[in-house]
């Protein structure tokens, strides 16, 4: 691979001139410009980004830390991130933490040491540990400043940019939808992990229940956010001949598990029990009884987070901003037999 020196030699000019021609940041006569460009072409020259990074202290690279790419929620977020980043000529360095807070901290440190220009962080920090976690992040930042944009959650204060969704409202409209469908014994299955996003969903549920005078009927259980756990919990509950006629779960995975249990025990969805999930993972539209759910704009979250980060990197007196994206209810068969039956087009 040719270097700028070889191009300069070939064109009979100095390396500075070559650099100026290619970066168009200083006047160079048409004649030399032409000679330089010809040499570039002839030698198939491309600037070495490593050398450039060393000199410029910019790597044109964004670190992406996700909880678990295997969880079908995330690939779409990553796709959104990737697309916007590539449009802006940034590359993505990818880290998976598997919901391990230590792995996450290591990833952050690692990315800092690699001089990425910015970090997109989908943290797995639970709500009770945020104070300590914030200290870690601020410590890191004081050591070397790198812009960070958080995904899905804030850090409790407004010192960090973030792209989140309106989880509270999601929980609220989900629950209200069940109430509108005439359900009054509504169970909520929340997340055992104390993540702010799921806690907010639970608060939305409570708010709706209270608003519609169902405060006494509130019933909340907690589970891991996986179908197996939804299935088992649901079996257990239904066996105790419950009178539940509506369920709102903290995510679609739980709902899918719960639906299976409900069907196995011979109850009808939505007639006997209606159910609403959260996230709108595409699998929800594939089930035989398609799942009503609160749609989270995953791809857009990714794109927006990338945009926000790049904006900050290009202009360092931008104030931290927390974007809260709206959510919307997608009514499918698990609450309304005339609900949407079409498959989501993504996921393939």
Partner DNA sequence: TAATGATAGTGAAACGATTAATTGTACTTA
Partner DNA sequence: TAAGTACAATTAATCGTTTCACTATCATTA
5 binds DNA (CB under 7 A): yes
The binder of 185, among DNA, a second copy, none, by C-beta within 5 to 8 A per type, is none
Q: What is the DSSP letter of 159?
A: S
Decide whether 169 or 251 has the Cβ nearer to a second copy. Answer: 251
**In sequence order, what are the beta bridge partners of 278?**
294
Q: Computed from CA positions of residues 88, 94, 98, 100, in that sequence, does the dihedral angle turn out positive or negative? A: negative
Enter the tokens of residue 334: 């698990």
Residue 122 binding target from a second copy, DNA, none, CB below 5 to 8 Å by type: none
Distance CA 291, CA 275 (A): 7
Instruction: Give the one entry of DNA, a second copy, none that residue 15 binds, where binding means its C-beta sits below a cut-off of 5 to 8 angstroms depending on kind.
Output: DNA
Chain contacts with a second copy (rule: CB under 8 A): 1, 44, 46, 48-51, 53-54, 59, 61, 64, 68-72, 74-76, 78-79, 82-83, 86, 91-96, 113-115, 143-144, 225-228, 253, 256, 260, 263, 283, 286-288, 343, 345-348
Q: Using CA atoms, how far apart are residues 214 and 212, in angstroms rounded to an integer?
A: 6
Rule CB under 7 A: say whether 68 interacts with DNA.
Answer: no
Query: Which lies closer to DNA via its Cβ, residue 2 or residue 207?
Result: 2
Q: Which is nearer to a second copy, 92 or 331 (CB)?
A: 92
Q: Coil, strand or helix: which one is 180?
A: helix
- Rounded-to-integer distance, Cα 111 and Cα 262, Å: 46
Question: Does 158 interact with DNA (rule: CB under 7 A)?
Answer: no
Q: Is 52 in the site for DNA (CB under 7 A)?
A: yes
CA angle 126, 129, 132 (to 5 degrees): 145
d(CA 183, CA 138): 47
CB neighbours (10 Å) of residue 174?
Answer: 29
The torsion angles phi and psi of 98, rounded to 5 degrees, stand at 55, 40
**Least distance from C-beta 262 to DNA, angstroms?**
59
Residue among 23, 41, 145, 157 that touches DNA (CB under 7 A): 23
Q: How far is the CB of 35 from DNA (least distance, A)?
A: 9
The Cβ of residue 21 has, within 10 Å, a number of other Cβ atoms equal to 22
Q: Which residues bind DNA (CB under 7 A)?
A: 1, 3-5, 12-17, 19-20, 22-23, 25-29, 31-32, 45-48, 50-52, 54-57
């Amino acid at each position: 691979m040719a270097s700028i020196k070889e191009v300069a030699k070939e064109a009979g000019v100095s390396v500075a001139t070559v650099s100026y021609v290619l970066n168009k940041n200083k006047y160079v006569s048409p004649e030399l410009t032409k000679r330089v460009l010809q040499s570039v072409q002839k030698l198939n020259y491309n600037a070495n980004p490593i050398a450039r990074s060393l000199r410029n202290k910019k790597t044109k690279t964004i670190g992406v830390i996700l909880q678990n790419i295997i969880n079908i929620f995330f690939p779409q977020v990553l796709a959104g991130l990737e697309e916007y980043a590539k449009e802006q000529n940034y590359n993505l360095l990818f880290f998976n933490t598997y919901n391990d807070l230590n792995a996450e901290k290591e990833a952050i440190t690692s990315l800092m040491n690699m001089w990425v220009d910015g970090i997109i962080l989908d943290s797995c920090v639970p709500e009770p540990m945020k104070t300590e976690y914030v200290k870690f992040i601020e410590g890191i930042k004081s050591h070397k400043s790198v812009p960070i944009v958080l995904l899905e959650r804030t850090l409790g204060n407004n010192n960090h940019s973030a792209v989140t969704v309106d989880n509270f409202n999601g929980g609220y409209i989900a629950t209200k939808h069940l109430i509108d469908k005439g359900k009054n014994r509504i169970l909520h299955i929340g997340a055992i992990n104390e993540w702010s996003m799921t806690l907010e969903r639970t608060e939305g549920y409570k708010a709706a229940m209270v608003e519609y005078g169902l405060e006494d009927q509130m019933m909340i259980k907690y589970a891991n956010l996986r179908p197996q756990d939804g299935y088992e919990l649901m079996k257990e509950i239904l066996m105790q001949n419950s009178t539940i006629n509506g369920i709102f779960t903290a995510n679609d995975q739980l709902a899918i598990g719960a639906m299976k249990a409900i069907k196995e025990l011979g109850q009808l969805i939505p007639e006997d029990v209606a159910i609403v999930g959260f996230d709108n993972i595409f699998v929800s539209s594939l089930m035989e009884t398609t799942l009503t759910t609160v749609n989270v704009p995953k791809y857009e979250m990714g794109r927006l987070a990338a945009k926000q980060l790049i904006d900050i990197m290009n202009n360092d007196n931008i104030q931290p901003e927390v974007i809260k994206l709206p959510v919307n209810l997608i009514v499918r068969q698990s609450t309304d037999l005339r609900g949407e039956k079409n498959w989501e087009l993504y996921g393939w």
